[in-house]
Amino acid sequence: MSVSSNTTELAQLHELIGGLRRCVSSLSSRYGDTPAMRRIVNDAERIMNDIDRLDIDAEELELTRGVSHHHVGEKIAIPDTQYASDFWRDVDDEGLGGVR
């Protein structure tokens, strides 16, 4: 899915949400504050909040799209030789979870 199709789909979704808001507002003014109307208003608000979260998630997905998660750069050789014992002085040995 391309960025432009994502943008178009989200724009269409926002148009639909605008229609939902208008319909709920119209119903609310017609039927007043009844239990059924409160449920409709609550459901519509929940949907609108979910769409707001979808926008946030879509932005996050676009930021991570195409980004390499591994660093490509200069390789540093690490010798296989033993380090001098002075190198480890004053370092706590936590091991790999084993008992000493």
User: Quick one: pLDDT at residue 97?
Assistant: 54
In the prediction, which pLDDT does 68 show?
A: 47
What is the rounded distance in angstroms from the CA atom of residue 42 to the CA atom of residue 33? 12
Q: Exposed, middle or buried by CB within 10 Å (0-12, 13-18, 19+), for 27?
A: middle
Can you give the pLDDT at residue 69? 45
Element (H, E) at 45: helix 35-64
CB 21 within 8 A of CB 40: no
Closest CA to 13 of 43, 56, 45, 55: 55
pLDDT, tens digit (0-9, with 9 covering 90-100), for 66-100: 554 444 567 777 777 877 777 777 776 666 555 55
Tell me the pLDDT tens digit for each residue of 7-44: 788 888 889 988 999 999 999 999 999 999 999 999 99
Residue 65 pLDDT > 80, yes or no? Answer: no
Residue 96 confidence (pLDDT): 59
What are the pLDDT digits (tens) for 40-62?
999 999 998 888 888 888 778 77
Question: How long is the chain?
Answer: 100
Cα separation, 84 vs 16, in Å, equals 68
